[in-house]
A and B are shown apart, each in its own frame.
Chain A
Amino acid sequence: MHINWHLRELNLKIVYYGPALSGKTTNLEQIYARVDASHRSDLVSLKTHEDRTLFFDFLQLELGRINNLTPKIHLYTVPGQSYYEASRRLVLRGADGVVFVADSSPEKANANIVAWRDMETHLASFDLAIDQIPVVLQCNKQDIYGALPPAQIRQFLHVVQVPSLPAIANAGEGVFDTLKMITSSVITQLQRQTTVVQGEA
């Protein structure tokens, strides 16, 4: 989070995390394609020759003013492949909120669990527990045969309290709902902290 009171800008960092090929980059591509060019940056993608994320994808969105502050949302994805663990940790650094993009295929259940634990470990390395940062669970690929419903995915990840929603990211479904949910959670949380400080004063 970075607030520039001179420019009255509120800059937020939101990271899309999840197992390989779960649809993290697809989320950003859909947002990029559907947002007016005057309100977004170019989509930066550091990819391998095989078109897989090497370091991160990045996209900035600029919203209209909210109570005289202009929110700028910086969206990042992490590389999902297992050997990019160190890079995932770096991208997660300084995140204000996380979207965990789960793959709803039954055969990817274990990959989701491993990625979730991996995320918890990295957050812990920054002295953050999973309940200390806003997280939204996006259950992607709901259109595939036998897709697990969000409630079941929450159950096997042991994250019953984490808000979740279904998505078919390559068709754009659930992409903006996810973005709205995580952005609202982060801003609400920032304000809640302020309220606590004032209450204590």
Chain B
Amino acid sequence: MTTIDPKESIDLPSGVTLHPSQDEAIDRLLSDLLQRCPARFLLLAEASGQLLSVLGKRSTNDLVALSSLIAGDLAASQEIARLTEQAQNYHLILREAPETNTFIAEAGVHLVLFVQVNKEVPLGWARMLIHETSCQLAEILSAQPEDVGKLDLGLSEEKINSLVGDGLDSILKG
């Protein structure tokens, strides 16, 4: 493996890496929230819109698109708060509809939690459980094993170019 001079390295923005044990802990937390609330539907996404987990009754099959919109919704709301000097550590959006209430909550800096509950679920109860879960999700994510974020494909730059090129060519129609 070639060692690159650190000076040549570019620092990519830090993202999220999930160890299998973290993935399992997140699933347990979300299952618990689904039952205790009770919620109709839960979705967890990374703050840039990448889908991590879903539970409950889906009202759409396009979860990838939904994740990007949820992250965009929270990001826009956070920016509105910042511009109007209402920024705070924990940000939650509540959207009320005739049959359901929808919450979009920040779970630490990296995650977005989307929760849909029936109208019968008291708002305060749902809000408290969502806040509690959001804090626990952020804690799970902050406890990263040291080697989790490392991506070692063991490939040369030329090989990566070739594999990415072939990979993209292979998904073209006909």
Give the B-binding residues of A (Cβ under 8 A).
Answer: 1-7, 10-11, 13, 34-36, 39-42, 44, 46, 55-56, 58, 60-64, 66-67, 69, 71-72, 74, 76, 86-87, 89-91, 93-96, 126, 128, 131-134, 176, 179-180, 183-184, 186-200
Cross-chain contact of A3 among B15, B170, B173 (Cβ < 8 A): B15
Shortest B83–chain A CB gap in Å is 7
**Chain A neighbourhood of B160, CB < 8 A:** 66, 184, 187-188, 191
Bound form: Cα–Cα A10–B167 in Å: 14
How many A-B contacts at CB < 8 Å in the complex? 201
Beyond the given pairs A42-B62, A132-B10, 11 more chain A to chain B contacts, judged by CB atoms under 8 angstroms and listed by A's residue number, are A1-B13, A1-B16, A4-B18, A4-B23, A6-B24, A66-B155, A71-B167, A74-B50, A74-B68, A191-B155, A198-B150
A133 to B13, CA, bound (A): 8
Task: Report which of B10, B18, B62, B153 forms a contact with A66, defined as CB distance below 8 A.
Answer: B153
Residue of A nearest to B149 (CB): A3
Query: By the criterion CB–CB under 8 Å, are A64 and B151 in contact?
Result: no
8 contacting pairs across A/B (C-beta < 8 A): A1-B14, A5-B20, A7-B23, A35-B173, A66-B160, A90-B79, A95-B48, A180-B161
Interchain CA distance A34-B75 in the complex, whole Å: 30
Chain A nearest CB from B69 CB (Å) reads 7
* B6 touches A (CB below 8 Å): yes
Q: Which residues of A contact B79 (CB under 8 A)?
A: 86, 89-90
Contact A199 B163 (CB under 8 A): no
Contact, CB under 8 Å: B12 / A133: yes
Do A60 and B18 have beta carbons less than 8 Å apart?
Answer: no
Instruction: Establish whether residues B10 and A36, one from each chain, have CB atoms under 8 Å apart when the complex forms.
Output: no
List B residues at the A interface (Cβ < 8 Å): 1-4, 6, 8-20, 23-24, 46-50, 52, 62, 64-65, 68-69, 72, 75-76, 79, 83, 148-155, 157, 160-161, 163-165, 167-173
Q: Give Cα A13–Cα B46 distance, bound, in whole angstroms.
A: 11
Give A191 to B165 CA distance when docked, in angstroms: 17
In angstroms, Cα B154 to Cα A91, docked, is 31
**Interface centre among B1, B68, B154, B164, by most A CB within 10 Å?**
B164
A193 B9 Cβ-Cβ under 8 A: yes
User: CA of A198 to CA of B150 in the docked complex: distance in angstroms?
Assistant: 9
Interface pair A179/B48, CB less than 8 Å apart = no
